[in-house]
Structure 1
Amino acid sequence: MMSNGLTTIGFDADDTLWQNEQFFRLTEARFTELLADHAEADHLSGRLLEAEKRNLGHYGFGIKGFTLSMIETAIEVTDGNVPASVIGEILAAGREMLRHPVETLPHVHDTLEQLSRNYRLVLITKGDLFDQERKLAQSGLGDFFDAVEIVSDKTSGTYARIFERHGDGAQRSMMVGNSLKSDVAPAIEAGSWGVYVPHHLTWVLERIDPPTDHPRYRQIDHLGELQPLIKMLG
């Protein structure tokens, strides 16, 4: 435990511990190719993003909602005339994403292994339950975590409840992730430390300005810098 009381560290999963967004980008490129005869790529991407925004409240975050949004967009841009073969290709692309091997990011394993000796580690991720469980199992990182929380969304209330349930409250906790909007800002609002680890690909809906003037905000380049940061804070 740090001298300032840190006992619990929460980690985001997608694009913090393992690659995720790159598979969405690749699938989106495949989607725009399938519908190239009906609309320009930029227009299709814009329509798809609009569908994703509309559908978050219905389908939540993750591959299944993304796949349904692609189908919806395909129906819209073709005025209902999208060929069944294209729908089949979209469904196949979604299944391929769900089967893709997990690729952990640099420094993840060693950092979690070392921190797990002195802190309670909690995986806090949003998305499809089955897919997140699959990725955690394939990653080989599950044994480092004292608890796993797969949530529908990440708000200050979410972090307050999780850090109370699995730790000593938000004030003695830290959240680490690649999304300022989901991982950092609401965790800080709940009272914890928020550590931003940028990923070169971040979904546009997860982007906000960093709270650089907040005393509990920090940014590191990669997870290999997390332990030195914690030591410095202590």
Structure 2
Amino acid sequence: MTSISTRLTTIGFDADDTLWQNEQFFRMTERHFAELLAEHGEQDQLMSRLLEAEKRNLGTYGLGIKGFTLSMIETAIEVTQGLVPASVIEKILAAGREMLSHPIETLPHVQDTLETLAGSYRLVLITKGDLFDQERKLAQSGLGDFFDAVEIVSDKSRPTYERIFARHGDGPDRAMMVGNSLKSDVVPAIEAGSWGVYVPHDLTWVYEHVDEPTAAERFRKLPHLGELSELLKGLA
């Protein structure tokens, strides 16, 4: 096989739940939301209605805390048949604001891995969600200097990776995407011709669940990000 040093030049990294914690704050807020509306349904029922609203609103609000907060309000109106008290709406809004102020907690091995790879590869942060919130998290993480480019996108698809890896690298066939979402980070990157490295997180939004593309030649799965450097050596 051709040496990785001549073939792989660019590595893309997902942000939320790959570099830092994110989903745990959504889960905490979901539990609080269920407590606020406990008299209108069991937690599982309320979570199902909320998920339906989130999926329905993706095309309007996009991903992120702001869209999630609006979906919680919409669900509260639906399950109470329009009778939700203003005090509950106020508490939902407060929960959304609290999510936007959570300190950033980087995941294990992130700092060391980026330090090791920076300079040897072009590192590109590829994340989707609310522009202001993603910029805030990147700034607070202290990881920004490791990246040669940052792309905050509305969707992650095959054309997304083709475009980004052509713009910031030598094309998708000489690039790798690393992330915790099979649906957003791994499968479309492989479809674009890149390597797709799956680093599972304990919490992943159910909407992001798809089967592992185990038959794909360029699919790899790691237990944590600290294994990435050894993977790169093994691909040489």
Using the alignment, how far apart are the partners of 2:165 and 2:159 within structure 1? 10
Distance 2:96 2:202 in 1: 23
Q: 2:39 aligns with which of 37, 40, 64?
A: 37
- The secondary structure found in structure 2 opposite 1:195 is strand
Output the amino acid matched with 1:80.
Answer: G
The CA deviation at 1:197 is 0.1
CA shift for structure 1 position 117: 2.0
Cα distance in 1, alignment partners of residues 119 and 6 from structure 2: 18
Distance 1:205 1:230 in 2: 30
Q: CA deviation at 1:131?
A: 0.3
Alignment of 1:1-234 (within 5 A): 2-3=4-5, 5-234=7-236
Q: CA deviation at 1:38?
A: 1.2
State the Cα deviation string for residues 132-174 of structure 1 (Å, max 9, x = none). Answer: 0000000000000000000000000000000000000000000
Query: 2 CA distance for matches of 1:86 and 1:138?
Result: 31
Quick one: percent identity of the two aligned structures? 77
Number of equivalent positions: 234
**TM-score, length of structure 1 as denominator length:** 0.99
Give distance in 1, aligned partners of 2:58 and 2:78.
18
Instruction: For residue 39 of structure 1, report the CA deviation from its aligned partner.
Output: 1.2
Flag structure 1 segments of 5+ consecutive residues without an equivalent.
none
The root-mean-square deviation of aligned C-alpha atoms, in Å, is 0.8
Structure 2, unaligned stretches of length 5 or more?
Answer: none
Output the CA distance in 2 between the equivalents of 1:98 and 1:222.
26
1: distance between equivalents of 2:107 and 2:12? 17
Residues 182-204 of structure 1 show CA distances to partners (whole Å, capped at 9, x for unaligned) of 00000000000000000010000
Q: TM-score, normalised by structure 2?
A: 0.98
SS in 2 for 1:99: coil
- C-alpha distance in structure 1 between counterparts of 2:46 and 2:20, whole Å: 27
1:37, 1:2 → 2: CA distance? Answer: 58
- Segments of 4+ in structure 1 off by > 6 A? none
1:204-226 residue CA offsets vs partner (Å, 9 max, x unmatched): 00000000011000000000000
Alpha-carbon deviations, 1:37-76, whole Å to 9, x = none? Answer: 1111111000000000000000011000000000000000
